[in-house]
Amino acid sequence: MELILSKFTKRFGATTVISEMDLHVGAGEMLALLGPSGCGKSTTLFAICGIHRMDGGSLHFGDRDVTTLPAQRRSVKVVFQNYALYPHMSVSDNIAFPLRVKRHDRATITRKVGAIAELVHIGELLDRKPAQLSGGQQQRVALARAMVREPDVLLLDEPLANLDAKLRLEMRTEIRRVQRETGITAILVTHDQVEAMSMCDRIALMRAGQIEQLATPVQMYENPANQFVAGFMGNPPISFLPAHLGERITLSGGNSLPRPDRLAGQGPITLGLRPEHLGPQFGQGLRGTITFVEPQGREDLIDVRLTGGEALRAILPSGHGHAIGDSVDWGVRGDRLLAFSTDGERI
């Protein structure tokens, strides 16, 4: 089911948190609302599910206007960050609760609970209480409860925040699998760009109540609209360097890079350089000293201080042979160089 949010405005008291936001989520699409805390992503989610009233604009599920419908009557479900399982009920009672409320008969309930439990792989846990489950299992139960009545839209509020690194990886894949298999329209709210990139078809990156860019993960990573987007996406993060655009791109300390043809104009710019686009494999051009080497297993993070004093970060496969204090003269991958005007817009 398609979701269309138009000119959505939300105020808390005198503060306007979100003003005239538009968002369109296609049927069966999974979209990430990504952004730092306080950017308005949770507010948007709560407006969609009906917990917050909208102060302006409209919300449609398909052709149906649900702007003023109470939460109980919208066909939308939220998986909360803390799972919000009912602690006094068994797993199967938890999942069955939405069906019981709608007075489905016992046979239907048993069948549907069984089917959804199978889908999220918790068939053998149905008799347990939530307190007896691990974090990942609780997550699966919350997902099952949200999905059992086949809502039009599924909302996920930081669903992985309470899991440890390993489980996060696993549940990321799981949630995406369930979403794909059921073809449900889903919105994921998160502050973690890796989560957003790995789980979603498209990402809406928000800042201060505005959508900064709405694009696929790959587009957003390779072709950010502005400096904020470039800085938010990517781990380890991109390095920004002040530079001057002339015949060549000139940095302080005598370093310079060839100017890619696609960059127009001249004057002061901010150069954005992702760690994987700096290294000996790209020739030479930036001279400096290695200040830090952080092994990560299959690759190492390397901090470089250029002769002009700027700090840069590179990532190289392990076994590169460099150590702290080494002088280096590394090149960059010119076609991936990002440049921004001094007010942060992409050039």
Partner 1 sequence: MSRTAAVPGLRIWHLVAVLSAMSAPLVIMYAFQIIDSVASPAPGALWPTGFDLNNWRFLWESVDSGRPGIWQVTFNTFVFASVTSLSVCAFSLTAAYALSRLNFPARRFFLAGLIVLHAFPTITLIIAIFIILQYLGLYDTLAGVILVKAALELPFGIWIMKGFYDTVPWEIEMAGVQDGASRFRVWWSLVLPQVQPGLAALLIISFLSGWSEFVLPLVLAPGAGAQVLATYMNAVIASETTQDFGLFKAIGMFYTRPVIVIYLIFQKRLMNIYGGGTKG
Residues that bind partner 1 (CB under 8 A): 12-13, 46, 49, 51-53, 70-73, 76-78, 80-82, 84-88, 97-98, 101-102, 145-146, 149
Q: Which of 41, 145, 191, 202 touches a copy of itself (CB under 8 A)?
A: 191
Residue 80's binding partner out of a copy of itself, partner 1, none, with CB under 5 to 8 Å set by partner kind: partner 1
State which of positions 290-319 bind a copy of itself (CB under 8 A).
292, 294-298, 301, 303, 317-318
Q: Which of 4, 69, 169, 347 touches a copy of itself (CB under 8 A)?
A: 169
Strand extents, DSSP E, 62-102? 64-65, 76-79
Q: CA Rg, the chain, in Å?
A: 24
Query: What is the rounded CA–CA span in Å between residue 79 and residue 125?
Result: 19
Residue 191's binding partner out of a copy of itself, partner 1, none, with CB under 5 to 8 Å set by partner kind: a copy of itself
Query: What is the rounded CA–CA span in Å between residue 78 and residue 81?
Result: 9
Query: What is the rounded CA–CA span in Å between residue 225 and residue 214?
Result: 9
**Count of other CB atoms within 10 angstroms of residue 51:** 12
Which residue, 21 or 49, has its beta carbon nearer to partner 1? 49
Which residue, 50 or 272, has its beta carbon nearer to a copy of itself? 272
194 binds a copy of itself (CB under 8 A): yes
Query: What is the rounded CA–CA span in Å between residue 173 and residue 54?
Result: 33
- Widest pairwise Cα distance in the chain: 78
313 with 302: CB under 8 angstroms? yes
Stretch that binds a copy of itself, among 65-73, 75-83, 106-114, 193-201 (CB under 8 A): 193-201
x/- track of binding to a copy of itself for residues 228-247 (CB under 8 A)? -----xxxxx----------
Q: Any idea of the CA torsion for 284, 285, 291, 295, to the nearest 10 degrees? A: -40
Query: What is the rounded CA–CA span in Å between residue 186 and residue 246?
Result: 46
Residue 86's binding partner out of partner 1, a copy of itself, none, with CB under 5 to 8 Å set by partner kind: partner 1
Residue 221's binding partner out of a copy of itself, partner 1, none, with CB under 5 to 8 Å set by partner kind: a copy of itself
Looking at the DSSP bridge assignments, the partners of residue 329 are 287
Q: Which token pair is 254?
A: 């005598």
Q: Which of 99, 240, 274, 332 touches a copy of itself (CB under 8 A)?
A: 274
Measured CA distances, 152 to 22, 59, 119, 221 (Å): 19, 13, 18, 30
Residue 321's binding partner out of a copy of itself, partner 1, none, with CB under 5 to 8 Å set by partner kind: none
Instruction: Tell me which residues touch a copy of itself (CB under 8 A).
Output: 164-166, 169, 172-173, 176-177, 191-194, 197-199, 217-218, 221, 233-237, 274, 276, 292, 294-298, 301, 303, 317-318
